[in-house]
Amino acid sequence: MIPLLDKLKVFTKLKGKLNKEKISVGLDIGTSSVKLVKLKSNNGSVQLCDFNQIPVSSSGIDAVLKELAQTENIKDVNISVSGHSTIIRYVNFPKMNPEELNQALKFEAQKLIPFPINEINLDNYILKPDLPDNKMLLLLAAVKKEFLNQRLKLLEAAGINANIVDIDSLALVNAFNFNHSKESDDLKNKTVAVLNIGSSISNLNLLDNFLPCLSRDIKTAGNNFTKKIIDTLGVDLPTAEDLKINPEKDKSSKLAGVMEQVITNLATEIRTSFDYYESQCPSTVSKIYISGGGSLLKGLKESLNSMLDIEVAYWDAFSNIEVPDAGAPNSEKLNTVKNNALALSPVLSVAVGLALRQ
């Protein structure tokens, strides 16, 4: 097994390109399901080879990983982590070469990362090398060794090797930037938010002209919506999950009231992040792009738009990725993804970002 320090390679390229004819696998290990995306390059373009999503049942994540290893014939994957055992920091740092930076971080990281330095794996990426006053903008990421080691052991038990360990937020940024043109009027020279609402955590990222400048995990997520429905309506878990996306007509108005409190909590956290950013920078957040299984909640987009007074939109993680023609292997399954992008693309966005990494 590769040493853990070598595993944490989160910023080699925020928008990596795949080698010719090389298949790359992104494995997004969530609390409610495990998502897999296979991509390969083809003369400069990227093609979708396969995808899968398996719910995590009472048998646990380890059983799902073993099933995927067998059914998808995977050995090497790119994975990501998130939550309280990970951290991302954006820091103005004195300008220096990579060797000097690595030496300086051994001493400075303890001031910047709220974990004991001997308990973490640390990586960095220079986002802006030429700031005023001989500074540069540095992105730091850390993950606790114990947490990462547990995740790697799960993979190892399933016969899977982790090529790259990323962080959910940065994998999301990778997918978003890959699928949006640098010339887009909605994004060029603007600050936008990319919000991924998972089951237990929502990942919020602010991008200033495509470069990440703020990342944080928000605890309000899909499970909060589900629990609220269960507590209010007294239904079981599968029914609550279905009602989130397909509310029955006679329950629609009641569900809207139930969900309003949770959406308000989420909107408050988002607004707090925007206010902090806008107090530090001259620009304002102009648009929110949402993804993740939790984003499929009926009426969420409209509610966030109303509460935050900012345009909210879904985005397609496959908009710049080719889907095989009919008749190709998996074509029926893959065309289902393309034809129902709003239904499936949000769930697979992190896995797409991981598969785009070398």
Confidence of residue 339 (pLDDT cuts 50, 70, 90): low
Number of H helices, E strands in the chain: 11, 13
Please state, in angstroms and rounded to a whole number, the distance separating the CA atoms of residues 290 and 143.
25
Tell me, what's the pLDDT at 185? 75
The conformational region for residue 220 under phi > 0 = left, psi -120 to 50 = alpha, else beta, is beta
pLDDT in tens, 252-263: 777 888 889 999
Q: What is the pLDDT of residues 288-301, one digit of tens each?
A: 999 999 999 988 99
Q: Which helix (H) or strand (E) holds 94?
A: strand 86-94
Matching residue, tokens 């396969």: 50
Residue with tokens 């993680």: 317
Q: Which pLDDT belongs to residue 15?
A: 42
Which of 103, 20, 6 lies closest to 358, judged by CA? 20
Predicted pLDDT of residue 20: 52
Q: What is the model's pLDDT at position 335?
A: 61
Q: Residue 119 has what pLDDT?
A: 93
Let me know: does 10 contact 162? Beta carbons within 8 Å.
no
Q: Is the pLDDT of residue 164 over 90?
A: yes
Q: What average pLDDT score do residues 8-21 get? A: 48
Of the chain, the percentage scoring pLDDT greater than 70 comes to 88
Between the alpha carbon of residue 64 and those of residues 31, 108, 167, the distances in Å are: 11, 40, 21
Q: Which amino acid is at 25?
A: V
What gap in Å lies between CA 27 and CA 163, rounded to an integer? Answer: 11
Q: Tell me: the pLDDT tens digits for 80-138?
A: 999 999 999 999 999 998 889 988 988 888 888 989 989 999 999 999 999 999 999 99
121's tokens: 């794996």
Task: Give residue 7's pLDDT band: very low, low, confident or very high (50, 70, 90).
Answer: very low
Measured in whole angstroms, how far is the alpha carbon of residue 165 from the centre of its chain? 13
Query: What is the band of 331 on the pLDDT scale with cuts at 50, 70, 90?
Result: low
Strand order in the sheet with 191-197: 211-218, 202-208, 191-197, 285-291, 311-314
Mean pLDDT across 28-50: 88
pLDDT at 274: 97
> Among residues of the chain, what percentage have pLDDT more than 90?
55
Sorted by where each starts, the structural domains of the chain and their CATH numbers stand as 1-88+141-179+317-358 (3.30.420.40), 182-315 (3.30.420.40)
